[in-house]
Amino acid sequence: MMLGNAIRGVLVSAKEFWRFTRMEVPCGDTLKVFYGVDHVPGINEKVAGGIIKCQDLAREFPNSPDAANLLYLVSSALPMQATFIAKMAKKAGIKVVVNQNGVAYPAWHGDGWEKTNVPLRLLVQSADYVLYQSQFCKLAADHFLGPCRGGWEVLYNPVDTEYFRPGPPFSLDPVVLVQAGTHNRFYRVETAIHTLHELAKRGVNARLLLAGRYNWRDREPDAIMEIEELARTLGVLHLLERRGGYTQGEAVSLFRSAHILLHTQYNDSCPRLVVEAMACGLPVVYSASGGVPELVGSSGGEGASAPLDWEKIQPPDPGELADCVMRIISNYEWYAEGARKRATEYFDIKSWMKRHRDVFENLVKA
């Protein structure tokens, strides 16, 4: 029985379960990768988070749900019954690679974080190879999941630097800040709006462009009302532009319409949008927590101080973020060139893809 056929019906009878232990894999060394889902979204489909890595990999390693010799799972975009899929894959002699992003911990998850970590722990400890998305991801995983038992390395999220590249320069009057991604907590947007207010108080002609999905309320319109109410209260609603979700194909034009990426999330493990923005020549103003300092380095932007805290979210101070913005605009060309250079030297997708091929082929041939 082929791997994809086996897992499409996850609730199985004892007889079907017995058949899973006899799943076939392709003969020879031909590499066939399965991402745990029947369909990997295309570049023009609106997606966010870990599944984007599968989009990238599928260009060179097409999704093979009906016959595979390697299972690739991304911890932040796991299919249903991921541990079951991995267990059956290993029984069939299929190698398992886990791309490990963040873990659950009290500050962001709240009660029940231990239960959420159970499948992550099982996957990390049973995988043949683990790719941690940052040194911070490795630190968090070791602390909450335990060390992996197979091979591992740190491999940062990539960016296609030929596609994500700077557009024509435009005036810094006004300076346009962009905050993008999936906003699961209000503090991210709240901090950004307070930073805009702080810049306005200092006489800086700034605008804030919000893009993405707003998910901290049950209904997105309620979250949008909360955004607008805060901006109106602070007197900066006229300085705010809001856009909705966007595709990977639309991301470049989004970044090219701004000067600086404002990334206020605390303890973000390895946000892809940071390296995408840097590749477009946007310096980053960020919370100096999680894996973001590893991405930005000393030349790609400026960070506001943040302690490491697993128990409580520590949003960055809007005054410090405003200081960071002002340092960047005082020497903008240097920061913009530094951001682009860092993205091309350290995060280009060609190197990332080659490293995946090396890991995959070594595992399949072992």
Distance CA 242, CA 285 (A): 19
Full-model pTM = 0.89
Distance CA 305, CA 302 (A): 10
Query: Quick check: 205 pLDDT over 60?
Result: yes
Q: How large is the average pLDDT for residues 253-262?
A: 97
Q: How confident is the model at residue 7 (pLDDT cuts 50, 70, 90)?
A: very low
Angle at 210 between CA 157 and CA 205, to 5 degrees: 115
Query: Quick check: 328 pLDDT over 60?
Result: yes
9 & 113 share domain: yes
| Residue 17 pLDDT | 35
Indicate which CATH number applies to the domain containing 38: 3.40.50
Q: Evaluate whether residue 25 is within a structural domain.
A: yes
Mean pLDDT of the chain: 91
Which residue range forms the structural domain that includes residue 39?
3-158+348-365
| Residue 80 pLDDT | 86
Q: How confident is the model at residue 51 (pLDDT cuts 50, 70, 90)?
A: confident
Three-state helix/strand/coil letters over 173-199: CCEEEEECCEECCHHHHHHHHHHHHHH
82 & 187 share domain: no
Q: Evaluate whether residue 167 is within a structural domain.
A: no
179 & 324 share domain: yes
191 & 130 share domain: no
Query: Quick check: 1 pLDDT over 60?
Result: no
191 & 147 share domain: no
128 & 181 share domain: no
Q: Evaluate whether residue 164 is within a structural domain.
A: no
| Residue 123 pLDDT | 97
Cβ atoms 303, 292 nearer than 8 A: yes
| Residue 44 pLDDT | 72
Task: Give the model confidence (pLDDT) of 155-197 as tens digits.
Answer: 999 999 999 999 999 999 999 999 999 899 999 999 999 999 9
* 41 vs 359, more confident: 359
229 & 151 share domain: no
Number of compact structural domains in the chain: 2
Q: Which residues contact 86 (CB under 8 A, 6 or more apart)?
A: 71, 73, 96, 122, 123, 126, 127
Angle at 159 between CA 297 and CA 262, to 5 degrees: 55
Indicate which CATH number applies to the domain containing 213: 3.40.50.2000
At 361, list the tokens: 């082929």
73 & 147 share domain: yes
| Residue 70 pLDDT | 96
Q: Evaluate whether residue 168 is within a structural domain.
A: no
Q: Evaluate whether residue 204 is within a structural domain.
A: yes
Distance CA 223, CA 217 (A): 6
Query: Quick check: 34 pLDDT over 60?
Result: yes
